[in-house]
Amino acid sequence: MKTYEYKRQGDGRDSWKVTDSVTGEIYMTFDPPSREVANWKLKAILDTMGLLPNISAAINSLPEPNKTFANYAWEYSQTVDQYSPTVKLIQTACNLTDEQVNTIFNQAESINI
| Residue range 5-55, pLDDT digits in tens | 666 665 555 566 667 778 877 665 655 556 899 999 999 999 999 999 999
Using alpha carbons, select from 93, 47, 50 the residue that is nearest to residue 70: 93
Using alpha carbons, select from 22, 29, 32 the residue that is nearest to residue 5: 29
Residues 26 and 1 in one domain: yes
Using alpha carbons, select from 11, 3, 2, 7 the residue that is nearest to residue 87: 11
Structure confidence by residue, pLDDT tens digits, 50-108: 999 999 999 999 999 999 999 999 999 999 999 888 888 889 889 999 889 989 999 99
Residues 26 and 40 in one domain: no
Residues 63 and 27 in one domain: no
Residues 17 and 50 in one domain: no
Domain count, the chain: 2
Residues 53 and 86 in one domain: yes
pLDDT at position 28, please? 59
Residues 46 and 101 in one domain: yes
The tally of CA atoms less than 13 A away on the side-chain side of residue 106 is 6
Contact 88, 30 (CB under 8 A): no
